[in-house]
Amino acid sequence: MTVDDMGMPIPDYEVLKKMLQKRDDPQRWVNEIAQQVLKGMKARVRQNVMFEYGLCIGSLGPERVCVLVQKLEGAELEIPSDVLGHGYIPFEDDLSKCKEQITKELIAVKYRASI
């Protein structure tokens, strides 16, 4: 899972819609809109990636799926709470740094599969 999209909750979107209706002072209006957008936006995983993650969980079982989750400074990835209940490995820009952790997960899955 990587930071590919930005999104905002519906309440923040509703505030933006109301702000769009006020156009008395264009400069103030633009600044308010920009601040509201920046405040509400969160880094998200692409929807198709979440769908494919669900397919993996459904076909392999949650005990046999581990997700690699990108961590970027200044862009906290919004992770659905369902993912947090399963195995996941955070990584920054280089997957080789978490090679040992990935290996441990693969060995654990192989062990669980043989039981």
Over range 32-60, report the average pLDDT: 82
Contact 30, 71 (CB under 8 A): no
pLDDT band at 41 (very low <50, low <70, confident <90, very high): confident
Instruction: Please give the share of the chain, as a percent, with pLDDT higher than 90.
Output: 3
List pLDDT tens digits, range 58-105. Answer: 998 888 888 888 887 766 777 776 666 667 788 887 888 888 888 888
Beta carbons within 10 angstroms of residue 62's beta carbon: 14
Q: Which of 20, 40, 38 is nearest to 30 (CA)?
A: 20
Domain boundaries along the sequence of the chain: 62-114
For 58, residues 6+ apart whose C-beta sits below 8 A from its C-beta are none
By CB atoms closer than 10 A (0-12, 13-18, 19+), residue 97 is: exposed
Q: Which residues pair with 69 in a beta bridge?
A: 90
| Residue appearing with tokens 């195995």 | 87
| pLDDT, position 22 | 67
| pLDDT, position 59 | 93
